[in-house]
Amino acid sequence: MELNRVIAAARALAWSTLYQKFEQIVVLILTWLIAIVVVFAVWNLTVKILLTIVVSGSFDPTDYPVFQTIFGMIFTVIIALEFKRSLIVMAERRESIVQVRTVVLIALLAVIRKLLIIDPNAADALHLFALSAAILALGGVYWLVRYGDRREPASPRPPAGGHAAAHARHGADHSSGPPAP
């Protein structure tokens, strides 16, 4: 009976290891593809800005359509960079779980990008309200996830030095002052 469990565990480990290697390969391929997209996006952004300056002779970033276009492209690059960074972090940690905080942050950046490039004169109030509600909801989720991450203990080990050291750190006299370092 014990031998069957060992064999089943070994098979599960082999498949798990194989799948983890597969995930790592996919992450590396996606990282390279996103890096290529970012390079071309930055190149395209640079060319468009330079051509606008050269062709028109006057580059007015305070002109709202120009502002929308430039910052829309910049935010697209930032979103791609954040996505690439999250893949790199996942590959370095060798974790198969994508961090929820990163996904929420990327979604928040995408909604903010949409809010920046939208023409406020052409958008109806309901559309602006929906974008605002999405930003508030994503911001709240991001805060909750960060708060939850901070509350989780770093390690389940007891403090160094055992019970006596913990008692000494918290003060045996129960004074109202902060514990001594």
DSSP 50-75: HHHHHHHS---TTSHHHHHHHHHHHH
Kindly indicate the confidence band of residue 179, based on its pLDDT and cuts at 50, 70 and 90.
very low
The whole model's pTM is what? 0.59
Kindly list the domain boundaries of the chain, sorted by start residue.
Answer: 2-151
Question: What's the pLDDT tens digit per position in 58-73?
Answer: 667 677 777 788 888 8
Q: Is residue 171 over pLDDT 50?
A: no
Question: What's the pLDDT tens digit per position in 75-113?
Answer: 888 888 888 888 777 777 655 555 788 888 888 988 988
Residue type, 99: Q
Q: 105: which residues sit within 8 A by CB, 6+ positions away? A: 82, 142
Nearest 5 degrees, angle CA 77-CA 79-CA 81? 70
